[in-house]
């Protein structure tokens, strides 16, 4: 018997969009002020005064088995449309930005 593996896609949105900023606040349990302080704003160019970061998450396109790590039977079944692993990344380098709650 062969396993059907899940297909997971990386999705992202710019934090300067109100919907994405509200989604980041909801999923990461942070306030808009904490996010603004962590990512900063653009100082030049067409996005001057807007937030610099992106919200990145994983979305399951086709459901199936998703491995969690190495080894036999190390994983779980996921359904299509499931989203997980939300994080804020730098818009230029795609490095994860660590935000500590005050």
Check residue 1 and give its pLDDT.
54
Decide if 94 is inside a domain.
Answer: no
Signed CA dihedral, 38, 43, 44, 45: sign only:
positive
How does pLDDT run across 1-55, given as a tens digit for each residue?
567 899 999 999 999 999 999 999 999 999 999 999 989 899 999 989 999 999 9
What total number of domains does the chain contain? 1
Give the structural domain span for 80: 7-89
Classified as helix, coil or strand, 18 is: helix
Question: CB-based contacts of 12: which residues, under 8 Å, 6+ apart?
Answer: 54, 55, 56, 57, 89
The number of beta carbons lying within 10 Å of the beta carbon of residue 75 is 16
* Position 13 in a domain: yes
pTM of structure? 0.84
Sequence-separated (6 or more) residues with CB below 8 Å from residue 78: 6, 60, 63, 64, 66
Residue 1 within a domain: no
CB proximity list for 35: less than 8 A, separation 6 or greater: 15, 21, 24, 25, 28, 51, 53, 88, 99
């Amino acid at each position: 018997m062969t396993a059907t593996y899940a297909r997971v896609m990386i999705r992202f949105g710019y934090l300067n969009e109100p919907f994405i900023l509200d989604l980041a606040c909801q999923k990461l349990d942070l306030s808009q002020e904490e996010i603004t302080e962590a990512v900063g704003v653009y100082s030049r160019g067409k996005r001057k005064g807007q937030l610099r970061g992106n919200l990145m998450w994983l979305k399951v396109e086709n459901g199936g088995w998703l491995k969690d790590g190495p080894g036999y039977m190390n994983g779980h079944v996921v359904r299509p449309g499931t989203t997980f692993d939300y994080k804020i990344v730098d818009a230029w380098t795609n490095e994860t930005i660590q935000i500590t709650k005050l």
